[in-house]
Amino acid sequence: MDVLVELFDDKKAAVIKIPTRLDASNSQPFKEKMSELVDKGYINLIIDLTQTNFIDSSGLGALVGKISTCRKNGGDVKLISPTQRVMEILQITNLDKILKVYRSVDDALKSFKTI
């Protein structure tokens, strides 16, 4: 899985664009990329789900894997425009209560505290 990342140094933020699926076959590289970004000080992670049509339990686990680390360091993990199917899965698992959803990268960036 090629993970596309856009960095916003002024907000210590990184946008990670997820392909059409986030599942057992590709969740490990996603987890590794999140860890790498957090280790470099990007404590505000934005996960772009606009193209993601399927997510399984390993994908969900990868999504929540760095929430506590980011929050402990004053950051957070936020989602961008999940597809209807992915949003349904987030609601079924109650992850929609933990992860805030935004319409755009700009909206998510604006929600982060000024560093």
Q: Sorting pLDDT into bands at 50, 70 and 90, what band is 114?
A: low
The string of DSSP letters for 69-108 reads HHHHTT-EEEEE---HHHHHHHHHTTGGGTSEEESSHHHH
Domain 4-110 fold is: Transcription Regulator spoIIAA (3.30.750)
pTM for the full predicted model: 0.92
Using CB atoms within 10 Å of the CB of residue 5, give its burial: 0 to 12 exposed, 13 to 18 middle, 19+ buried: middle
Q: Are 90 and 99 in contact (CB under 8 A)?
A: yes
What pLDDT is stored for residue 3 in this prediction?
A: 75
Neighbours of 89 (CB within 10 A): 18
Q: What tokens does 2 get?
A: 């090629």
Going by C-alpha positions, the residue among 68, 60, 62 that lies closest to residue 86 is: 60
Amino acid occupying residue 96: D
Q: For 10-55, what is each residue's pLDDT tens digit?
A: 999 999 999 899 999 999 999 999 999 999 999 999 999 999 999 9
